[in-house]
Structure 1
Amino acid sequence: MTAAATVPRRTGRRSAGRGALVILALFLASSGALRLGSGLGGAFARTAETTAGPAPPLECPLPPAALLEALQEREDRISVQEAALADRQAAVNLAETAVAGRIEALEAAESRLAATLERADGAAEADLARLTEVYESMKPKVAAGLFSAMAPEFASGFLGRMRPDAAAAILSGMTPEAAYTVSALLAARHSDVPRN
């Protein structure tokens, strides 16, 4: 076998590629010709203008009556819309004034309520402090009987407010079960406070 016989010929592909290149070159040439032609038309027009002088100004005829009437109707509608917008703005301003007045009244009522709550809290605190002093000044044996009869949550609240020596004397007079329950409640009072 010869070397020429083993290599296949590719002439069909080459001619198809050349044909595509020829078509592409024709498109480019025609695009350039069109651009050149359009530029020549504008150049001829400009040359004609400069030789003939500027064109006279166009005169607009007076608008017909129908157009004037339509413009007047539009202006009337706009005037009505502007009046409606002005009314709405006045209503919004009035509402804002009313809301501002109500907010001021609510703030005043809130400060009065806060003062009342503060006085009530102060009075309740004073009552609890006075009752705690009464229990502290009682004989421990009598106070232990009262504390044994109280609900454990209630008793632990008072014992937590007392001086340690008075609370210890009352706890020692209570039954062991009641003393344990109250002590457990006292120990767990602040367990739900966040540590971080």
Structure 2
Amino acid sequence: MARPLLPVLTLLFALPAGAMLWQGADLSRLFSTVAVAAPADLLDGCGDVPEAVALAEELRDRALRIERYMAALDTKKAEIAEAEASLRDHLGNVRAQKGRTNADRDGATQAVRTDIDRLIALYDQMKPAEAAAILTNLPADFAAEILMRVQPEAGARIIAAVDPRQAALLTAQMGARSVRTP
């Protein structure tokens, strides 16, 4: 008589769970009531059937494991949310740092351009012979850069005042710079 009772009990427990799954209901509610219910409540009238007792204990153990798993998932979700918030804060800080760095670099670049413009204006105002004397003592690439940036008329007068060998070298440097810079 104990053998036919096991399939009946299985159906008794499986059919409501299957119906809830079919309807899309939340099974955690079902498991939480099973875990809270005492085995005696589950086994009203079936306490003398060892298979029913074993099944009830197995279901209770599974419900407890599911509850622990759900609690662990909730903990992991909270940890992930905290990590996401931390990453968002860090990303905001990095973006702000990048903005400050770009602003600093742009300011420094602008300061260098201003200094170069001042230097070029100075050479534009100098007499060609004086500018030629100074440029011949500078490194050839730096002197060529200055000559490339001064007014064309002033540059021509300065090159005319430079020693012909030095003028050829400066002209070659200017040509090489023009080829390197698109």
Query: Given the two structures, how large is their TM-score scaled by the length of structure 1?
Result: 0.64
Query: Match for 2:97: what amino acid?
Result: A
Partner of 1:188 in structure 2?
176
Shift of residue 92 of structure 1?
A: 0.9
Return the structure number with greater helix share: 2
Partner of 1:169 in structure 2?
157
Count how many residue pairs are aligned between Structure 1 and Structure 2: 136
Shift of residue 131 of structure 1?
A: 0.8
CA distance in 2, matches of 1:149, 1:159: 14
Q: Render the CA deviation track for 1:55-105: whole Å, top value 9, x for unaligned.
A: xxxx82566101110111111111111111111111111111111111111
CA distance in 2, matches of 1:175, 1:76: 97
Partner of 1:21 in structure 2?
none
Q: Are residue 73 (structure 1) and residue 73 (structure 2) matched?
A: no
Partner of 2:126 in structure 1?
138
Q: Stretches of 4+ moved more than 3 A in 1?
A: none
Query: Match for 1:102: what amino acid?
Result: H
CA distance in 2, matches of 1:193, 1:128: 18
Equivalent residue for 1:159, pick from 132, 135, 147: 147
Equivalent residue for 2:8, pick from 60, 65, 68: 60
Shift of residue 188 of structure 1?
A: 2.3
CA distance in 1, matches of 2:68, 2:53: 23
Q: Are residue 149 (structure 1) and residue 127 (structure 2) matched?
A: no
Partner of 1:115 in structure 2?
103
Percent sequence identity is 30
CA RMSD of aligned residues (A): 1.7
Which moved further from structure 2: 180-189 or 92-101? 180-189
Query: Match for 2:165: what amino acid?
Result: E
Cα distance, 1:139–1:189 mapped onto 2, change above 3 Å? same
Partner of 2:18 in structure 1?
none
Shift of residue 193 of structure 1?
A: 5.3
Q: Which runs of 5 or more residues in structure 2 are unaligned?
A: 1-6, 10-45
Partner of 2:93 in structure 1?
105
Shift of residue 173 of structure 1?
A: 1.6
Query: Match for 1:60: what amino acid?
Result: V
Query: Match for 1:83: what amino acid?
Result: A
CA distance in 1, matches of 2:69, 2:178: 66
CA distance in 2, matches of 1:85, 1:181: 75
Which moved further from structure 2: 59-68 or 175-184? 59-68
Q: Which runs of 5 or more residues in structure 1 are unaligned?
A: 1-58
CA distance in 2, matches of 1:169, 1:83: 86
Query: Given the two structures, how large is their TM-score scaled by the length of structure 2?
Result: 0.69
